[in-house]
Amino acid sequence: MEKQDFKIIKSHKVTKIGKKQNSDELKPIQVTPPNHLSVAAKTLYKNLYSEIQKAGYLKYIDQANLEMYCTTYDLYLECEDAIGEYGVWLKDGDGNPIKRAPQAIQLDSCIKNLKSLGFSLGLSFDSGLRQITIKEPPEKQSNSPLEEAEFGSEI
């Protein structure tokens, strides 16, 4: 076996850590999509941001999950395009399917990741339902002196 040379690739992205904030106050989520996102991911980010603002429950700490959600959605769209062009199956010379195509396998992975990330961000179908709170009915107030004396109750 021949010796192979490997390159170590360093990222040129720099993560800045902001000022220390009051422990009771969480920084809001970033308004504009980060530059490293693709065009489709940025578009989704902008659309989701307006909805997130309405709900008001995501903070900067959720930023990475939102970015991953948008990026995974972009990958999902690419998989759909590839399936449309090449199909779901790899085929032999006679056109018989022999195994699932990589784009179909990747699409499944994207769907699972979107569901998981969406759930952690509260972006699932029923997330709006979870925000609805049911108020306890007010305690029945007695207006009758007989009820206060427990008239008619069992002894």
- Residue 12 confidence (pLDDT): 59
Question: pLDDT tens digits, residue range 91-124?
Answer: 999 999 999 999 999 999 999 999 999 888 887 6
**What are the φ/ψ torsions at residue 93 (nearest 5 degrees)?**
-60, -25
Residue 109 has φ and ψ, to the nearest 5°, of -65, -40
pLDDT of residue 94: 92
Query: Which regions of the chain are under pLDDT 70?
Result: 1-25, 124-155
User: So what's the pLDDT on residue 57?
Assistant: 73
Which two tokens mark 153? 């109750």
